Amino acid sequence: MRASLLTRAASVAAVAALAATGAIAATGAARASTHVKRLPTHLSITTIPAIEPPATQVTVITGHLGTAGFPLRDETVFLDRKSGIFFIDIAHERTDKSGRVAFVVNPRKTTQYVLVFKGSVNFARSHSEIVTVQP
């Protein structure tokens, strides 16, 4: 049995339309799976000079991580120290149930620090202001 030219052309057009629709649907699904809206976060920083004998002049750097007024607990926050023009990670801690974290530093010279939250699946990355700690 021979199919007419018109029947063949219609079959080819139908297959092409199905293939294009499938490709478009697959592209849309791929885009939807890679774009994730993360909640914004806020990371504050404060310094507390220790009241110790002069031989142990340490400073406590504390931070609070939250989103929309709620604390974020069990998230990793990094303490970065300025080295030249860059900041480098020197320590990390997990936030407590109140979203708080603390680091003890004892710099030999005036040093700048910043707290950094690198983000997670649900929360956007953020960083604190820069603080300067003197020995």
Compute φ and ψ for 59, nearest 5 degrees: -125, 140
Over the stretch 84-126, which tens digit does the pLDDT of each residue have? 999 999 999 999 999 999 999 988 899 999 999 999 999 999 9
pLDDT at 4: 60
Structure token digits, residue 14 = 């139908």
The pLDDT-based confidence of 54 (bands split at 50, 70, 90) is low
CATH of region 42-133? 2.60.40.10
Q: CA 41, CA 61: separation in Å to the nearest integer?
A: 19
Q: Does residue 43 have a pLDDT over 70?
A: yes
The pLDDT-based confidence of 135 (bands split at 50, 70, 90) is confident
Over the stretch 7-41, which tens digit does the pLDDT of each residue have? 565 565 666 655 555 555 555 555 555 667 899 99
Question: Cα dist. 103→22, 57, 122, 126 in Å?
Answer: 54, 14, 25, 18
pLDDT at 25: 53
Structure token digits, residue 131 = 């603080």
The pTM is what? 0.71
Contact 56, 50 (CB under 8 A): yes
Counts for the chain of helices (H) and strands (E), in that order: 1, 9
Q: Where are the domains of the chain?
A: 1-35, 42-133
Question: Any idea which residue has 């149930």 for tokens?
Answer: 97
